[in-house]
Structure 1
Amino acid sequence: MIRKLWGLGLCLALLCGASLAQAAEERGPVTNLPLPRFVSMKAGEGNVRRGPSLTHRIDWVYTRRDMPLEITAEYGHWRRVRDREGAGGWVHYSLLSGVRTVIVEEDMLDIRSRPDVAAPVEARLRAGVIAYLGECAQDWCELQAGGYDGWARRSALWGVTAADLQN
């Protein structure tokens, strides 16, 4: 009896381990790119629909070019996206860009000349500013916004994942 239970436990552990590995490596069925992943709005205006077709109702319209969005699903030419506030819906892929941007979540965020708290401050960004994302390393990401280029703490940004970190 104990041997059977141990075997069942091992089998369940293997199944759970396989599903965790599959979840960590989930890929979009259309693009074969990782899910979830971040993109940005290419257009200055884009309809967000309830489902993946033109026949579905428009729930709202994104009106901010370069806004970062997280793709959580794919269906044909449609991508299900989620914004910083958790709102989501389906957007046609032609409205999206692979150019990476982030939203500053901390008001008056220091942009430093290098990834170090002792480095000189090059600029300060208000909460809600959209910045272009460069490389990320440990707790810092390189940004470009308003003609300034520098490094900011990753924890103060929305639109960055652990996969963005370079070792």
Structure 2
Amino acid sequence: MTRRARGVALAIAVTLMAAGAAGAAEGERGPVTNLPLPRYVSLKTSEGNVRRGPSLTHRIDWVYVRRDMPLEVTAEFGHWRRVRDRDGAGGWVHYSLLSGVRTVIVTEDLLPVYTRPAEGSQIVAKLGIGVIARLGECLAIWCEVEAGGQHGWTRKTALWGVAPDELRD
């Protein structure tokens, strides 16, 4: 590819990425999948390269090394998804490394998990900060989670990977 062709391709990619970012800001649908932007997914593998741009030619900025880690998809370009983690860091990841299985990260230490979505119910577990749990049903202020063989309900505000207003059956 000539230098000029690379420049044109780069200009097109930048334009498409900007369009994807604008769509994410407006809460629209992804141009590739037609799924909502932003949305939450999880890392399918135990290792995933995070690139500066949406292609194999872009530099790898870092590598996610935690299987099932929740990520937020903010843009789409071909087979690539721009994601961010709970710390706000992100980049472009190939779609084959992502899963639609929903997980969350616990953001409060010793978070109680209850048998029912009520603080007066029995506590079945306490989760440490940074624990990754599978996400189940979510009500207005409660979400059902499963981690380490324990299953129950906890406060949505103590989880990253679920929107504050999100309801799930």
TM-score, reference length from structure 1: 0.84
Q: 2:108 aligns with which of 106, 128, 142?
A: 106
What is the CA–CA distance in structure 2 between the aligned matches of 1:38 and 1:59, rounded to whole Å?
21
Query: In structure 1, what is the Cα distance between the partners aligned to 2:168 and 2:137?
Result: 7
Q: Within 5 Å, which residues of 2 pair with 1:74-89?
A: 74-89=76-91
The answer to whether the aligner puts 1:146 opposite 2:163 as a matched pair is no
SS at match of 2:157: helix
Q: Tell me which residue corresponds to 1:137.
A: 139
For residue 48 of structure 2, the aligned residue among 46, 49, 63 is 46
Moved over 2 A (4+): 22-25
Residue type of the alignment partner of 1:64: R
Identical counterparts, % of pairs: 70
> What is the CA-CA distance between 1:165 and the residue it aligns to?
1.2
Between structure 1 and structure 2, the one with the greater Rg is 1
Report the RMSD for the aligned CA atoms in angstroms.
Answer: 1.5
TM-score, normalized by length of structure 2? 0.83
Match of 1:55 in 2: 57
Q: Return 5+ residue gaps in structure 2 as ranges.
A: 1-23
CA contact (8 A) 1:52 1:79 kept: yes
AA aligned to 2:69 is: M
Deviations 1:43-91 (A, max 9, x none): 1000000000000000000000000000000000000000000001000
Measured in 1, the distance between the counterparts of 2:141 and 2:147 equals: 19
Give distance in 1, aligned partners of 2:25 and 2:85: 21
Quick one: which amino acid aligns to residue 106 of structure 1? E
The unaligned stretches of length 5 or more in structure 1 are: 1-21
Q: Measure, in 2, the Cα distance between the counterparts of 1:69 and 1:55.
A: 23
Q: Secondary structure at the match of 2:121?
A: coil
What is the CA–CA distance in structure 1 between the aligned matches of 2:78 and 2:42, rounded to whole Å?
19
**How many residues of Structure 1 are paired with residues of Structure 2 in the alignment?**
146
Q: Return the alpha-carbon distance in structure 1 between the equivalents of residues 135 and 158 of structure 2.
A: 13
